[in-house]
Structure 1
Amino acid sequence: MSMDKEWIRLWPGGAPGAQGSGDEDTPALQAYPVQEQGRGAVIVVPGGGYGMRADHEGAPIARWLNGIGLAAFVLRYRVAPYRHPNPLTDARRAVRYVRHHAGQWGIDPGKIAVLGFSAGGHLTVSVGTHYDGGRPDEEDPVERESCRPDAIVPCYPVVTMKRPHTHEGSLHNLFGENPDPSLADSFSNETQVTPDTPPAFIWHTADDEAVPVENALLLAGAYSRNKVPYELHVYETGSHGLGLAEGDPRIATWTELCGSWLIKRGW
C-alpha cells in the first residue's frame, strides 16, 4: 500500500548538504491524510541505527494512526553515510513543512507530534529538545515556521550517546568513528530536557538487548525533574524493534495507550 503513495520532497530544489539527487539524498514525506478536519497529526520516524529505515516502523504505523482518525506522515530522513546534522535538519524541516501546509490537509497546526522508533526515537527526542521558533526573515516560508513538536512519542528509543547505555551503531553512524565528545554530550538528550520540552509518551521493554531500557528511564527521569508531562510504559519482556508488536498481544497494547494519550492531549 505504501508503494502507491507519492513522496513529497521536503526541499523541492534539493536538501541542504545533499551529495546527490537519488532517493537516499532526498528527504521526503509520505502523507496519510484523513477525512476528518481540525485534528492533530503525527510524523512517523522509522528506526534503523541511523544506517537504514525499517519499513515495518513506517507505513503500518501511519495506517494505525489513520485508524484512530489521525493524519500521519512517514519521514524519509538521510542516514549513513550522511551524518549529523543531516537527520536533524530533515526532521526539523518535516515539522515545519507539515505545520506550514496544515490547512491543505485539514490539520491543527498546533498539534503536530513526532513518533519514532529506536534511532528514529533518538531523532524524535532530538527534535523535541533541539528546536527553534522559525526564522521570520527567511525567504522560504516553510523555514519561518517553528520546528518544535507539540508532543513526542519515543518508542524503545536511543536517548543517550554516552556509554554504557548508548547504542554504538547509532552513535557511529550519526557522528563518525571518533565522535566529537561535545556533540555526543549535547545529543545525549536526557541532558537537554527543559520545562519547555514537549510532553512525551515513552515505551520500552525491560530486557531489550539492543538498546538498554536505561535510555527510556533516563529520559523519564529528566522529564520528571523538569515537571514536563510524560507517560512511561516498560514491558517486562520483549525484543527490540517490535513496531506495532502484532506478534505479542501484551506489548501491542502500547498503541491503545498511546492513542488514548494523544487524544487526551487534544489530538
Structure 2
Amino acid sequence: MIKKVFLLLLIMGLTFAASAEKKKKRKKVKEPTATHADVSYGKFDRNKLDFWQAKGEGPRPVYIHIHGGGWVVGDKKGFKGVQKFLDKGISVAAINYRLTATDPLPAPVLDAARAVQFLRYKAREWNIDKSKFVLSGGSAGACTSMWIACHDDLAKPNSEDPVERESTRVQGISVAGGQSAIDPKLIEPWIGPNVYHEMIYKAVGEKSIADALKNYDQHEAMYKEYSAYNHLTKDDPPMLLSYGADMSLPSKSLGHGIHHGMFGVKMKEKSEKVGHNKLYLSIGKDRPKQYPNRDDFVYEILLGK
C-alpha cells in the first residue's frame, strides 16, 4: 500500500514538473521587436501602427491585423503570432484606430482603411508588394476587415495627400467572430435581441440600444453603409470567416450574439447569390476542406501556396 502511494505521488510530481516546464517554456517565447513601432499613419493620436519587415527576395506581401474590442476598447499590442509569418517571408502590420467612445462611425473603419493606404505608400521604403495584402482580426477587427474587402476603392487619385491616392482594395481576409452587418433592423431577425452588444449602439454615438432604436431613422444610413453585407459583389476578394461552434438561436447572451456564426452564414448566402463564391466558412470544428488551417488560406493568397 505504501509503495502504491509513493508511486502515485511520484507520478503526480513528475506530471506537475512537466506541466510547469511547459508553462515556463511558453512564457519564454517573445514576440519579435517591430522594425518600425508606433508609426503615425494619420493625424489622430490613435492613428498608429507597428510594422515587422520580413526578409526575402523582392517586395514582400503583407498581413495586416486589426484588433477587436467592439470598436470600444482594444490595442494593437494584443496581437500575437508575428514570427510564423516572418518565417514565411510575409511582413506584418498591426494597427490602432480611433474608438467609438469618443469617435463614432465612420472613424474606426476609415482609420483602418487609411492604414492600408499608408502601407502601400510606404511600399518602396519598407519593401512591400502592393498587390498582396491580407486583412485579419477578430470581432470588430473582423467587421472592419469585411467592410474594407467589400467596399469600393476609397482611393482619391487627384488628392494632394499622397496616402489618399493609394488603393484600399485587398487580396483577401481571414477573420474570426466578425459581424457582416451592424444594422439592428437586419441582424435581430438573424440572431435575436441578444445581438445588441454595446458595439451596435456606441457605433452611432448612442448610450443604449433603446436610444439607438428610438433614433433609428437618423442612424439608418450609417448602419447600412458600414454593414459589409450590403456591399458584397462578385469582384470582391476571397474571405475566410471563422466562428465558434454554438449555432443555437436565438443567441444566449450578448457575447454569443455579437460573434454568432449566423453572421457568416448570411454572408455566405449573399456571396452565392451575387456570384462571388469565394467565401469559406469555418464553424467550430467544421472547417473548409481546402483550408483546415486559417494560415493555409493566408499563405495561398500571399505566397501562391
State the structure with more CA Rg: 2
Q: 1:55 to 1:103 in 2, by over 3 A?
A: closer
Contact 1:45 1:57 in 2 (8 A): no
CA distance in 2, matches of 1:86, 1:215: 23
What stretches of structure 2 of length at least 5 have no aligned partner? 1-29, 207-211, 247-254
> Where does 1:206-225 land on structure 2 (aligned, <5 Å)?
206-207=245-246, 209-210=256-257, 211-225=259-273
CA offset digits 1:99-132 (Å, max 9, x no partner): 1212222221001111111011111111112242
Q: 1:70 to 1:167 in 2, by over 3 A?
A: farther
Corresponding residue for 1:191? Answer: 230
**TM-aligned CA deviation for residue 236 of structure 1:** 4.9
TM-score (norm 1): 0.80
**TM-aligned CA deviation for residue 40 of structure 1:** 1.4
Corresponding residue for 1:10? Answer: 41
Which range moves more in the overlay, 115-124 or 195-204?
A: 195-204
Quick one: percent identity of the two aligned structures? 21
Corresponding residue for 1:22? Answer: none
CA offset digits 1:117-171 (Å, max 9, x no partner): 1011111111112242511211111110111122112211122213323452211
Q: 1:131 to 1:52 in 2, by over 3 A?
A: farther
CA offset digits 1:23-46 (Å, max 9, x no partner): xx3311100111124331111011
> Where does 1:246-265 land on structure 2 (aligned, <5 Å)?
257-265=293-301
CA distance in 1, matches of 2:154, 2:98: 23
Contact 1:57 1:117 in 2 (8 A): no
Residue type matched to 2:262 in 1?
E
> Where does 1:22-171 land on structure 2 (aligned, <5 Å)?
25-36=45-56, 37-53=58-74, 57-58=78-79, 60-81=80-101, 82-132=103-153, 134-161=155-182, 162=184, 163-164=187-188, 165=191, 166-171=195-200
What stretches of structure 1 of length at least 5 have no aligned partner? 16-24, 238-250
Contact 1:92 1:131 in 2 (8 A): no
CA distance in 2, matches of 1:187, 1:111: 24
Residue type matched to 2:110 in 1?
T
**TM-aligned CA deviation for residue 224 of structure 1:** 2.2
CA distance in 2, matches of 1:64, 1:48: 24
- Is the helix fraction higher in 1 or 2? 2
**TM-aligned CA deviation for residue 8 of structure 1:** 0.6
What is the Cα-based RMSD across aligned positions, in Å? 2.6
CA distance in 1, matches of 2:76, 2:131: 28
**TM-aligned CA deviation for residue 74 of structure 1:** 0.3
Q: 1:175 to 1:151 in 2, by over 3 A?
A: same
Residue type matched to 2:241 in 1?
I
Corresponding residue for 1:231? Answer: 280
Corresponding residue for 1:21? Answer: none
Q: 1:31 to 1:99 in 2, by over 3 A?
A: same
CA distance in 2, matches of 1:146, 1:75: 17
CA offset digits 1:38-97 (Å, max 9, x no partner): 331111011001111156752x04344324331110010111221111112211111111
Residue type matched to 1:232 in 2?
L
